[in-house]
Structures are given as C-alpha cells and as structure tokens.
C-alpha cells in the first residue's frame, strides 16, 4: 500500500495534481474537500464539522490501509505552526506504516497571485462547492496568511520520501509525472 500525502497552501493545485496523478497511476484520490463538502452544508465551518471530518478521515484511512488496493493520494493543508496538524499527519502516517504501507510526502508551493487565480478555476469550483463564493473563499485564503504557516521551512519535513515542488508555472500533469517518476509509482 502506498500513500502519497500531497500538501500545501489553499489553491496551490493539490487536488488538480492529485487528479492527474490518479490518472497516471493506480492510486485513488481522496482530496480533503471530499469530507469537508459532505459535512459543511450541515455544520458550516464549525469545530463540530472539523471534528467530524477528522473522525471520518481517521476511520477511512484505517479501513483503506488494510485493503489490498495499490494506494491512496490524500491532499490537505498542513499548518506547520499548529501542533494539531503535526499530530494529524503523524497519525495518518502511523496508520499506513503500521499496516505495511509506504508514505510519500509531496509539498507544493506557488505564489499568492497564482493561488488567487487558481482559486476560481472551474475544476476547483466544480469539486469544492464551499469555494463557490469567491469573495469569501479569497478572504479566508488571504486571512490564513496572518496566522498559519502553510509552507515548510528548509529541513523541517524530515522524511526519506519527500519532495517540494514549486508549481507556480508548471502544469498539473507535469507535476504528477514528476511525482510518479521520483517515487516510482
């Protein structure tokens, strides 16, 4: 079982790269908004929604890691200055590794101007209904810069299977093929 953790700030292109990686491999995509979009209409962006989303993901990962599937791509936003996020990542990694899985870390980064452009793409809006109010979505994206550090510092992610890609000017398919090649997926 392989797990590709695909992370970076909002609107950096994680889901789109994940979609392309899914096409190029036997990996299945579980982008973070799959659980968010399921729960958000009922709870809004509340602590209850986040708790349920984390619980759903935890149970899903536990069950999926025990299957004979080839693997999974999970996209998410990692706040490096939040201990809770480090704990969540470690729990996911532990779940897969304790069941014999291999984990690959792929960090994407792009500048704010590019991310704001990507925030309104039809593919993103089609798969993430909670982002369709562009004004609110952009406000949340920009506001996150004040309190969250969504890009790792040099040497902070200490894993053998880790790459950081600035995809500011790269097409999603090119990034996916680079990930596939780097990790021989």
pLDDT tens profile 22-54: 999 999 999 999 999 999 999 999 999 999 999
Q: Are strands 71-76 and 2-7 parallel, antiparallel or unpaired?
A: parallel
Cα 95 to chain centroid distance, Å, stands at 17
Q: Please, which pLDDT band fits residue 123 given cuts at 50, 70 and 90?
A: confident
pLDDT at 174: 97
Average pLDDT over residues 142-160: 94
Its pTM stands at: 0.93
Whole-number pLDDT of residue 82: 97
* E runs forming strands in 27-158: 28-31, 71-76, 102-109
Q: What is the CATH T-level fold of the domain 2-178, as seen in this structure? A: Rossmann fold (3.40.50)
The answer to whether 99 touches 65, Cβ cutoff 8 Å, is yes
pLDDT, mean over the chain: 95
In whole angstroms, what is the distance from residue 114 CA to residue 9 CA?
Answer: 12
Lowest mean pLDDT among 1-5, 102-106, 114-118: 114-118
Write down the domain spans for the chain.
2-178
């Amino acid at each position: 079982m392989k797990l590709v953790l695909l992370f970076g700030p909002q609107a950096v292109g994680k889901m789109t790269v994940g979609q392309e990686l899914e096409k190029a491999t036997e990996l299945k995509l579980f982008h973070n908004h799959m659980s968010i979009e399921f729960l958000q209409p009922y709870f809004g962006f509340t602590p209850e929604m986040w708790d349920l989303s984390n619980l759903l993901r935890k149970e899903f990962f536990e069950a999926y890691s025990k299957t004979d599937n080839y693997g999974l791509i999970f996209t998410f936003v990692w706040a490096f200055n939040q201990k809770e996020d480090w704990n969540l990542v470690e729990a996911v990694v532990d779940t897969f590794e304790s069941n014999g899985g291999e984990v690959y870390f792929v960090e994407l980064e792009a500048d704010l101007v590019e991310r704001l452009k990507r925030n309104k793409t039809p593919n993103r809006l089609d798969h993430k209904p909670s982002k369709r109010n562009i004004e609110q979505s952009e406000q949340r994206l920009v506001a996150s810069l004040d309190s969250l550090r969504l890009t790792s510092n040099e040497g902070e992610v200490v894993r053998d299977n880790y790459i950081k890609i600035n995809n500011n000017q790269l097409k999603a398919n090119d990034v996916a093929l680079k990930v596939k090649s780097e990790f021989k997926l």
